[in-house]
Structure 1
C-alpha cells in the first residue's frame, strides 16, 4: 500500500527541475540542459535522468528537492471499499529506500503537443513507518495502529502528462492540466505490528492472510494507488513548475 507514495517519488527525479519558491530560478550549473528544438531531445532527457542521479541522492537545495535516498513522506491516506478490501488507513513517517535504483526506459517530450510520456523501473524498494487502519480484509476485521514494514520487488511505472504554458509577469512557465499514471509491481510484501491492541495471535493471523493474498489484494487496490500517485505527481511536483523555473530555462530553445 505504501508503494503508492513511493512511486510518486520515482517521478520526482523524472522532472528534476523543481523549486517552490522564486519565480525565474534557473537550473543549477551542474544539471544537464536539454533543448526543446534539438531533434534528439528525448535522448538528451533520457540520458539526463542518469546524470542527475548523484545529485538527487543528496538532494538539490537550490531547487528545494529533498534527498531521495532515503526518501521520506510525512503522511499517506488510503481508502478502499470492495469485497476484498474495505478500509481506511493512514500511513505516517514513511521512509523509502531504493528509489535511487530507478531506471528510465522512456522520457519523451512532445513539444508541439506539450505532452510527456515516461516509463521507469525500480529494482527494489523497502519501506517502513507507522500506520493506523480500520476496516476489513477478505471479510475479516483489521484494526489497529503501530509500525509497518514493506517490500516491493521489480516495479514499473508509466506516466502521461499534458501541460500548458502560462505567463507570470511576462515570463512563460509550465503548468500541468492532466496527469495519469499506471503501476506494475513485483513480489509485494507487508508486515503490520501491533494490530488489535497488540494482540499477538490476531496480529500474526492477519499478517498471514495479507501475505497469502497480497497479489490479489494489491490488484484490488491498484486503482486507488494509481489515483494517489497521479494526485501527488501533480500537486507535489508538476504544479510547482508554475512558480519555479521558466520554460525557456527548463527546456531551452
Structure 2
C-alpha cells in the first residue's frame, strides 16, 4: 500500500462480504469512525460532524394546514458526535445499508426565512432560530451502486438515501427581525412551542427529503474518494 492508503487505514475498519457477522462489523466500523468524524478527516475533505454545519437547507410543504417554504442557512448543529448505532442491516451485494441511530440531544441554531400560510393565516418571518431535540431516534437507508473511474478503480456511489426520525421532546425559539419585540413575534414563539409536534408532523416529509439530500452529498464526497477494496476487500 502507498502512504495515502496507510493514512486511511487509521480510520477505516474493513469488513468482508463473506463475514457471517457483517452487520456487527459495519456497526463496529461506524463506532470506530466517531473520534475521526469529530475532528474531521482532512485527507478526504470530510468536515467535523460536531458541530455539523450546513450552508443552506430548503423545505417546502404545499399541503395541509402548514403551507410554507422555509429556508434555513448558516445552520450549526451540535451533538451529532454522541451518536450510537442501534441497528445495522447491510446487503453489500446490492450496496444497501439500513442504520438505526440514537442521539441523546441535538442543539441547532442558525438563520431562517419563512413564507406561507399557517392555519389560513399568512406568515412572513425572518431572523434567528434555536431548536433543541432530546432522545432522537434516527433511521437511514442508503442505496448505493458500484462505479469505476478512468484508472479502473471501483468505488461505491450513493444513488438514493432516505432518512426518518422521531424524538421525545423538542423546544423552539425564534428571534424574528420582522416582528421582534411586538405581540406577533411573541405569539409566534408561543405557537411554535405549543404546537411543535403538529408542525413537525406536517413538515416532516419535506424535512426528511431535504436532510437526506444534504447527507447524500456529504457521504458521496467521502465514498467517491475511498476505493471499494479499501473498506470492502472482497468486493
Fold match, TM over 0.5?
Answer: yes
Equivalent of 2:175, from 155, 170, 193? Answer: 193
Q: What RMSD, in angstroms, separates the aligned Cα atoms of the two structures?
A: 1.9
- Please give the secondary structure, in 2, of the residue aligned with 1:37: coil
Equivalent of 1:113, from 94, 115, 118? Answer: 94
Q: 1:53 to 1:250 in 2, by over 3 A?
A: same
Shift of 1:199: 4.2
Q: Could you report, residue by residue, the CA deviation over 1:220-246 in whole angstroms, capped at 9, with x for unpaired residues?
A: 1111112112222323323653x3111
- Rounded to whole Å, the distance in 2 between the matches of 1:195 and 1:85 is 21
1:223 is matched with which residue? Answer: 205
The structure carrying a bigger strand percent of its residues is 2
Instruction: Work out whether residues 17 and 232 of structure 2, in 8 Å CA contact, stay in contact via their aligned partners in 1.
Output: yes
Instruction: Work out whether residues 60 and 69 of structure 2, in 8 Å CA contact, stay in contact via their aligned partners in 1.
Output: yes
1:143 is matched with which residue? Answer: 124
Aligned residues: 228
| Residues 1:90 and 2:62 aligned together | no
Deviation above 4 Å: which 4+ runs of structure 1? none
Instruction: Work out whether residues 117 and 161 of structure 1, in 8 Å CA contact, stay in contact via their aligned partners in 2.
Output: yes
- Rounded to whole Å, the distance in 1 between the matches of 2:94 and 2:73 is 38
- Please give the secondary structure, in 1, of the residue aligned with 2:131: strand
| Residues 1:180 and 2:162 aligned together | yes
Equivalent of 1:74, from 50, 55, 70? Answer: 55
- Rounded to whole Å, the distance in 1 between the matches of 2:232 and 2:63 is 44
- Rounded to whole Å, the distance in 2 between the matches of 1:38 and 1:83 is 47
Higher relative contact order (CA 8 A, sep 6+): 1
Uncovered stretches (5+) of structure 2, i.e. residues with no partner: none
Uncovered stretches (5+) of structure 1, i.e. residues with no partner: 1-24
| Residues 1:210 and 2:158 aligned together | no
2:219 is matched with which residue? Answer: 237
Instruction: Work out whether residues 155 and 183 of structure 1, in 8 Å CA contact, stay in contact via their aligned partners in 2.
Output: yes
Instruction: Work out whether residues 195 and 202 of structure 1, in 8 Å CA contact, stay in contact via their aligned partners in 2.
Output: no
Question: Could you tell me the TM-score, scaled by structure 1's length?
Answer: 0.83
Mean Cα displacement is larger for which, 174-183 or 42-51? 174-183
Instruction: Work out whether residues 60 and 67 of structure 1, in 8 Å CA contact, stay in contact via their aligned partners in 2.
Output: yes
